[in-house]
Amino acid sequence: MGAGGSVEREAVGPRLKRLRLERRLSQRELACPGVSYAYISRIEAGTRQPSVKALRKLARTLNVTTAYLETGSDIDDLEERELRLADAELALRLGDAEVAEGQLRRLFEEAVAAGDQACAARARIALAPVSKAQRERKRSELRRASGVSLGTDQDRAGLPPAPGGNNGGGLRMREGVSLRKNRKLTWGILRDDGPDIP
């Protein structure tokens, strides 16, 4: 693992050496016409970048794809992004919204930068319920913190409570109006379109 938890990719030289040793081959045994053992030695040491022709010959001898020998992966960036997107969607379905959100946001940015509209659209669609759940969670936290219950839809619509009998009816109405104003202000703050209140 590298800095920030990213996986460091193995360079061509060390990958070639690893594959050669796994197959118990010497550099001389791996050599073929057009690819000398000295050339293989320089590739493994990192002093030479192999040509495409050399990569093809070495990959065939090592029984791996040329793409794997060159990049360490048999899949291209698009396929990798699709797999990571499927993993993030699965994490979201399994209830790991925080992890999934981070993955989906990174995937969205990568897809946009790469011009991959299909992946960008899938990531954005998958982010929608996460964003909605976060807004609901913030609203709930604000309700608890302020101690104000937003009540029913009727209360949020601004309808005052029904006045009580003859004695104190006016007082109840004033309290209701005051409470209604409070609720309206709080509701506006929760929707992020109300006035700023210190």
The residue ranges of every structural domain in the chain are: 3-71, 77-144, 148-190
Instruction: Tell me the C-alpha distance between 189 and 22, whole Å.
Output: 63
pTM over 0.85: no
Quote the crossing angle between the two packed helices 97-114 and 77-93, to the nearest 10°: 160
The tens digit of pLDDT for each residue in 95-154 reads 887 888 888 888 889 888 888 888 888 888 888 877 776 777 777 777 777 765 555 554
pLDDT of residue 23: 93
**Segment (H or E) for 153:** helix 153-156
Average confidence (pLDDT) over 62-89: 84
Instruction: Tell me the C-alpha distance between 155 and 162, whole Å.
Output: 11
Query: Has domain 3-71 been given CATH number 1.10.260.40?
Result: yes
Least confident of 36-40, 82-86, 125-129, 143-147: 143-147
